Structure 1
Amino acid sequence: MSTPSTQLEKNIEKIVPEDIINTLQSGYKVFNGDSEHLEDFLKHGGQLLRKASQRFTTTQLIIGVAVIASIAIIAVAKTSESDSEPSYE
């Protein structure tokens, strides 16, 4: 017979290195101006936050969301800045 704590541990999705790698890779691509990866960055970041929300305290989650939001804001600003610059070709 399983205890409630072991059932809860089975329901919690583990954060695997691929989650972090995918988030960082797509964030890096967006930060370098490849705006096509913004949707991937938000998707991977959201999955990572969902998994983290099952393990972290409220304060840790707020800090994590703030960090991802600030990176997303910088990426969007950088992308819109590069889109508005005239090309001198």
Structure 2
Amino acid sequence: MSTPNTQLEKNIDKIVPEDIINTLQSGYKVFTGDSAHLEDFLKHGGQLLRKASQRFTTTQLIIGVAVVASIAIIAVAKTSDLDADEAHS
């Protein structure tokens, strides 16, 4: 007879590298201006977030989202700085 913990672990979807790769690829395409991939980005990101929410505690999820948001802000800031430098040249 299996315990409730082992049954719960069987129901949890594992995060596979393809989930991360698909999210990053579609995110990059949206970031570079290909808005046709926005739906894919939201779908892949949602799947990854759902799987992560099954695995991590609330605190770990909040910290993870904060880290990802910080990286995104830094990337956007650097890109806008590069664009501004090219415009002045």
Unaligned runs of 5+ in 1: 76-89
Q: C-alpha separation between the residues in 1 aligned to 2:50 and 2:8?
A: 15
Q: TM-score w.r.t. structure 1 length?
A: 0.71
**Aligned 1:26-45 pairs, distance under 5 A:** 26-45=26-45
Count of residue pairs brought into register by the alignment: 74
Contact persistence 1:49–1:64 (CA under 8 A): no
Amino acid at match of 2:20: I
Amino acid at match of 1:45: G
Across the aligned residues of Structure 1 and Structure 2, the Cα RMSD in angstroms comes to 2.4
Amino acid at match of 1:6: T
The match for 2:3 is 3
Q: TM-score w.r.t. structure 2 length?
A: 0.71
The match for 2:62 is 62
Amino acid at match of 1:36: A
In 2 relative to 1, CA 40–64 (structure 1 residues): closer, same or farther, beyond 3 Å? farther
Identity in percent: 88
**Aligned 1:4-23 pairs, distance under 5 A:** 4-23=4-23
* Structure 1: 4+ residue segments shifted above 6 A: none
